[in-house]
Each structure stands twice: as C-alpha cells, then as structure tokens.
Structure 1
Amino acid sequence: MASNKTTILDIAHALGMSRNTVSKALKGGDGVSDKTIELIINKAREMGYKGHMEPLPPSSPIPAKGSIVFLTGNFSAHALFWPAVVKGVEGTVSQSGFQFTIKLVREEELANGSFPSHLNREDVVGIICTELYDRRYIDQLTATGIPLVMIDSVFDVFNEALPYDLLLMENQHSIHRLVSLLLEKGHERIGFAGKPDHCRSFYERYMGFKLAFFTSGELPPTAYSILPETDNYAVERLMGKLQEMPEFPTALVCANDHIALNVIKAARNLGLRVPEDLSVTGFDDISLATLVEPNLTTVNIHRVSLGKRAAELLLWRISHPDRPYETTYLENTIQLRNSIHGR
C-alpha cells in the first residue's frame, strides 16, 4: 500500500532544492543560511512533514536605539579619501534607525586605550574603525564586546583568529597587474615606494609587487625600492632615497597616491622627466590624481561602496553576534593614465 507521508525528497522537489540542503536545514542548518532554513521548515510544515525538525533559529532584531561610531585616528591626513567612505557608511546606517557619529581618537586616548571624549560608551552598539593601526588599542576595543568592523588593519594578523570583521580593498592583484604592465613595457629597474608594515593593505600591495616578478620568472629587484622605517614621505626625503640608489629606477610603484605625488615632485627636483625617465603609479585614485600633470595611473577604490559594505557588515554582525568573523575584499578598478611610459 502506497504511503502518503511527506518525505524530505518531496520537500526538495517542491522547493527546487537538493535533498541534502533540505536534510541539513531540518537538522539545524549547518552551512545553510537562516533565510533558507526558514523557507524549508515553513514548507515542511505546510506539506505536513512528520519527521524531526529543529526549531526555527530565533530572530535577533536590531535594537531601535543606540549609536554606530566611525572611529578614526588620522582623518585629516587623508581628507581626499575618507569623506566618500563616510558618505557610504552614513547612508546605510541612516536606514537602520541607529544614530551615526564620527570620532577622532587623539594621541592621549590612543596611549591610554580610552574611548574618545564626549562619547557615551554605553550608547555604542557598533564601531567602524579605520586609520588605527595600534594593536593594543584595537585589542582594547575588541575586549569591550562591542561589534567591530575594521576597514584595513595592522599588517601582522595572519597567524591568529581575528576578533572582528575585516573589510579590505583588493590590493595584491591590482599591484600585480600594474607591475606586469610595466614589465611588458620593457621596464627592468622597477621599485616599490611605501612602508610594507604600515598596515595590512600596504603589506598586501608589496606582496603583489614581488609576486609579479615571481610569476614572470624573475626575482624582484631590491636596489630601486623606497621602504622607509617611518611614514615620512617628504619630498626632500624621497629625493635623498633616490640619490642613494646605484642608478635611478625607471618605474616606481607607490603604495598610495600621496606617496606617488611626492615621488613625482622629488623626481622633477632631480631633473627627471615623468614619465619619460620615471614612470609612477599610485593607489586610491584621489581627486589630485587627475589634477597633477601628467595624470596619475592609479587604482580606483570604490569608496562609497566601501563605506556601504562596512555598514552592512556591522549591521549584520549586530544581529548575528555568534557567527564566525569574516574578511571581505572589494574589487578595485585600475585607471591607466599618462604617468607611465614604455622603455
């Protein structure tokens, strides 16, 4: 006699899903999203399924009150970059019902590990943090238990589990492509300008620089890079670094646009023509990149999207505090302009 009992396979067919997905959802949903679990369990109930079903995961509504804080340690130094990111964050947060505020962490607060003045810590439900590459301070932030999303981070975090969500722009592949392009144009004396351990993004860009040589069957040259021990990229200092080299490089791949623009000034002060004698690339695509002559070849970071994604990650984390932390990359776009030249 045929059975009229609803089976897992019946539910799978009704939803157009695999039997394995339905089975996992009914057992608790390991590897299955909450939305899919809810859909499957509701369909199972509708079809009169009598087998074992775990209860639906409890929803965790975002609280109606509280503030999301954008913490930064050096906003003014990168005033051409961060406003668009903040715009993306604020637009997304404003739709959530939370308050949004920007706070600068001062030197004494950084040293003491304290919250910025005039900030009510009890009111803070989430933090987006950038330009703060002090490990002790970040450790103190995570110890509060307040959900935290870092846009970029300290560079040496590869051998430990991160106690926060990390959002990065894609770094390594973009620089790899720029260096590969310079090699195709016949450049041999190529250097990198930037402090690799300044932050994780700089480190990944430097790794992309070296990887481009390895994948082309060459060893990365060491004599033409400017790898300072401090974050000092003053024009006079860059001139001195260039003069210390056995011969001038034919191309410098810079960790960001600010460094690239000062490299161009330093090169001109030394009588070098850009790009005829020295090709220069940057990273960030700040507004000055198209105002300088020659226009700077660089990597465009979609800054508003970066801010939106940071806010989305934080809002999700507030609602899902027990889920594993995530590292997310946003793709960039290379902007080829006339600051590079073939040999």
Structure 2
Amino acid sequence: MNKKVTTYDISNELGISRNTVSKALNNHASISEETRKKVIEQAIAMGYNKIIPGSSERPAISRSTKCIAFLTRIDVSASGYWMNLMSGVEDVLRGSGYDMKMSFIKDEDIISLMVPPMLNSTIDGFIVVGMVNKAYTEKLLEHSLPKVFIDLNAELPLTDLKTDLVLMESEESVYQITRHLIESGHREIGFIGDINSRSLFERWMGYSRALHESSIPQNPNYCITSTHSTSYQSFEGMADTLGALDQLPTALICGNDLMALHAIRFVKENGMRVPEDIAISGFDQMKETKLLDISLTTVTNDEFQLGMRAAEELLYRMQRPNRPFEVIRLSTKVCFGESTRTTRA
C-alpha cells in the first residue's frame, strides 16, 4: 500500500520548506499567489487530501488538467544530455496541451518499492528515464497508467513487455567500432559499462559479436561490466577500476562518452598516450568531448529527438491502449575520430 502524502513529500518535490508548503495550503497571507498556486498544483497532483476549502479555487486549478509525469533517478540538471532529453519531452507535451511534472525516484523508494505518489492522482501517463533495478521496474510496469520507458533493466525480456520502450540504436554502432579496431590490428580489446542497462547491454552485444566473428577470444580481465555503474561514472571510480587491472588492453570501448573522458584522463595521468598506447571510444557525442586535444570516436545520439519520440509514443499509447506494445530504436551514426586511429602489427 502506498504511503499517505504529507507536506514533507510536497516540500521535497518542490524544493521549498515544509513551513512554506503548510502556509500555502492554509491560505496564509504571507505566501505569494504564485507560490500558493505552485504548492496546490503539486498537492493535487500527488493526491494530498487535506487542501483547505477555497485554496484550490484561488489559483483556479482543476483536477481535469492534462498532466504527464517524468520519473527519473538521474540528476538531469547536472548534465546537458539529460536536460536536452527532458526538453524534447516537454516540447511535444506542451504542443499537445499537457503539463509535465517531474518526480525524482529516491533510493529509499526503490528499496521499499514505493511508486511516486503523483501516479495515484490526476496524472494521465508517465515516462521513465534511466535504468532502475528489476524489482522496481516491475513495480512500475504493474501500474495501470499508460507508460513509456527510455532504457530498461536488461534482466527483463522484451517479449510480453507491458510498456513501450524507446532507445537509441546501439548494437550495430559498437559492432562497427569494434570491427574497426580489429581491422587496425587490435586483439586485446576491452569493454566497460553496466550491462544491466538495456542500452549498454546492446552495446556489449555489438562488441561481443565483432570479436566472435573474428575468432578473437574475449578476455574477461578486460571486460568491466559491474552492475555498480557509479563506480566508473566518476573519474575517481574509473581510476580505481582501471588501476586495479594487471594490464590494460590495447583498446577500450566505453559505454558512453563520460566513461571515455575519464578513461582518457587516467591514461594520460599515467604517462600513456591515446591512441598510441591505448585506443578509446565512447558513445553519445557529448559536447564535453570537444575539450579534448584529440577527436573522440563516438556515436551520434540526438537526445532531444529521443525525448520527443518518447513523448510522442506515450500520447499514441494513451489514444490506442489496446495496440501492441512497441520497442523503438532511433538510428545512430558512428563518428570515427583520432582516439582510435592506430594500426598495430
């Protein structure tokens, strides 16, 4: 059973004090009309049932407001990539007359399998961004509201999946990069990324397929596929991970550009060169890679379009709830850069 919504929950969602929330809900004269309206809208969306009579009338809020929830455990404000993705979602929803409300999935929610309270109120559907564990994903999948996932836990099979799923194409792109490295003479090729994510699992499959087709054995010592992806989403974690290897591979395929940036920094700080000593590739074509002194081999990934497509799919699902669920992959393109331009004997 979902817990009762409190003023603390509302203040946490809005990032304001609990005292301000309480005053707004009680029509206190010290609270501005703008703040009062924001608090009451959030309270209604989350299913809070102690709104003082008349308070919802002042800002002219209606429970018939069309609204979509954006659920994520990612700090979208910390990355241009995720901000662009969210902007794509907002662009489509705004043009279709829907408001978007963001809800951050907390670690304690995942442990207790507690879905965001707003899903039990006036929300018309929701989009889940970023991978969460299998149990919590299954909890969200049980919800009756129309839903779309951007990425998914790889432990869940795509057969009989009770949601629409939107991804960027991944397997073929990484297959091409791995083939390129093999044709350049590399035989000791590593991979780093959390393969519990469907997107990263498909990148892993592209890497594995290329090695298999070339009859190159996969060296587990060069494959870092820990489910604790945060251990190499920071430079410190990447340095600890790579530093623990007895020997580095001659080429390293990173699950995304952020990992590639950390890996390149580690290599350079340890007196090695990219690509002469180790070739490195990424995925996503992040703007931050422009600061490197070499061009990075990566894969184009239009996150704004990804967000738009997910929102479009949710609107489609809401209008046609009985149509077969879809797994949608947006096309990508490999951009070969200087970071993998080596020829080995």
Could you tell me the TM-score, scaled by structure 2's length? 0.75
Question: In 2, distance between residues paired with 1:268 and 1:140?
Answer: 44
C-alpha change, 1:247 and 1:110, in structure 2 (3 Å) is closer
Change (3 A) 1:132 1:245: closer
Q: Which residue of 1 aligns with 2:338?
A: 338
- Structure 1 match to 2:83: 83
Between the aligned partners of 2:245 and 2:283, the Cα distance in structure 1 is 24
Give ranges in structure 2 of 5+ residues lacking alignment: 1-63
Counterpart in the other structure of 2:176? 177
SS of the residue 1:339 aligns to: helix
Shift of 1:94: 1.2
1:138 alignment counterpart: 137
Contact kept, 8 Å, 2:296 with 2:337, in 1: the verdict is yes
Which amino acid is the alignment partner of residue 179 of structure 2?
Answer: S
Cα distance between partner residues in 2 of 1:317 and 1:168: 17
State the match for 1:128 in structure 2.
127
Q: Which moved more, 1:250-259 or 1:91-100?
A: 91-100
2-side partners of 1:76 and 1:271: how far apart?
34
TM superposition shift of 1:236: 4.6
What CA distance in whole angstroms lies between the structure 2 residues aligned with 1:98 and 1:77?
Answer: 22
Residue 147 of structure 1: how far off its partner (Å) = 0.5
1:212 to partner: Cα distance? 0.7
Indicate the residue corresponding to 2:206 in structure 1: 208
Please say if residues 179 and 209 of structure 1, whose CA atoms lie closer than 8 Å, have aligned partners that are also in contact. yes
Report the number of matched residues.
279
Contact 1:65 1:97 (8 Å CA) reproduced: no
Instruction: Give me the identity figure in percent.
Output: 31
| Deviation string, structure 1 residues 135-180 (Cα, Å, up to 9, x no partner) | 2222222322001100000011227521111111111101000001
Q: Give the structure 2 partner of residue 276 of structure 1.
A: 276
Match 2:225 to one of 224, 227, 232: 227
How far is 1:324 from its partner? 1.5
Larger radius of gyration: 1
- How do residues 240-251 of structure 1 correspond to structure 2 at under 5 angstroms? 240-251=240-251
The 1:187–1:132 alpha-carbon spacing in structure 2 relative to 1, beyond 3 Å, is closer
More deviation, 278-287/107-116: 107-116
Deviation (angstroms), 1:305: 1.2
Letter in 2 for 1:277: D
> Which amino acid counterpart does residue 293 of structure 1 have in structure 2?
D
More helix as a share of residues? 2
Matched, 1:116 2:105: no
What's the counterpart of residue 69 of structure 2?
A: 69
Return 5+ residue gaps in structure 1 as ranges: 1-63
> How well do the aligned residues superpose, as a CA RMSD in angstroms?
2.2
* Residues in 1 aligned to 2:192 and 2:179: alpha-carbon distance in whole angstroms: 17
Aligned partners of 2:276, 2:77: CA distance in 1, in Å? 30
Secondary structure at 2:127's aligned position in 1?
strand
Q: Is the 8 A contact 2:115 2:139 kept in 1?
A: no
